Chain A
């Protein structure tokens, strides 16, 4: 099994003195390639921070992060930007799309910025899979929330990145649209061998993953393979009771 990304004793500390908050405390995580990994945890557990650090969006206070063979701590802002552009895909909870661009333009945006021609065959495959064939000329404001997230997913996959990070991709969607998006992410792992890391607090969303990493108070506290909604919910309840 190949490792798509990993971090070693990764710490992230915000603020100083009285306001000092340790968001991540010496975290070691390995993300297996061609797997769907979910990161779960209660609010404030550090799951979003972990994703941002893994994706090269945020700097780390100490420790190291690799995507593939690249050590992110060695990269300048320029190199990090290029890495995000060429090797990483993103799906955010909201504000995923540039409102002035059409759906298709949004999908090819990272490649357009790089000045690269998209692989047409692959692009068609992705578009067919997300089921947006007839809405490609539409602007985001003319798409439903679910459609917008599917466009975002297509964008994340279109450049064949090493790894795709999704931050609460279904957070703003109704359950039917959410299921469509999650189904698509699942499919991209199964059919295209894509590596996906998804941050979520929804046990149902996590049940689509191959593996769930549980975070609490900046530590990795547990992990679970082939989860179901019920098993994840059970595990989450344990956090709540421990807190109480």
Chain B
């Protein structure tokens, strides 16, 4: 084993996740991620507005294939993400610790994240029934309403709960066939990109999930004013940020979803109504007669 003691460990470069690929930010910019002692633990891609636009293009491209999959198949794929993550629990807990968490809390968060993915995997082929209706119209028509995905959803994920927050906002969006562009927390970029690696290994359509790292303040406008985005999820409690997102969203009538949960591991942070937030209802009229 003489050679192993001389071996230099390979340092990992964390990149972005766009269209099923792991590119560096087109801007070439990085920010230094520090641990609690103030030491640099990684250089993290500081994503740009152009990266946001590229990710939205990838998400729109992925929408056709991802939304066309059968509900059951989407459920299987979400379950597959959970399976893959289960096998990498230790790695994720370690990376959360590296970013400043205590070991027990880190492992709790990883397990809660896996359970949340399984929760939404189960809903993939069930939310349709509870949100559909056959409407009792007066005239002689068979009239029914059912949900369809709204399209491309951008996510400004929670600043805390680096893994669970990301999972809790991405999963209800993709469960129905939406595609997403998610911005990771400035403080937890490493687990976000490791999650991207898990997703990449889980049969998710390329472009269905895109994950960016970078500064929230800088990327907020690009994520909310893009004309080919249908909904924006904002997690946080900064009134100015929320107001600017609402104003940007009005440009093309985006749906704005606001979450301000303090504890993302609570059961109240998972619900089929969080799937409903990103659905459109289609009503069809068919004549009944000879």
Do the two shown chains form a genuine complex with each other?
no
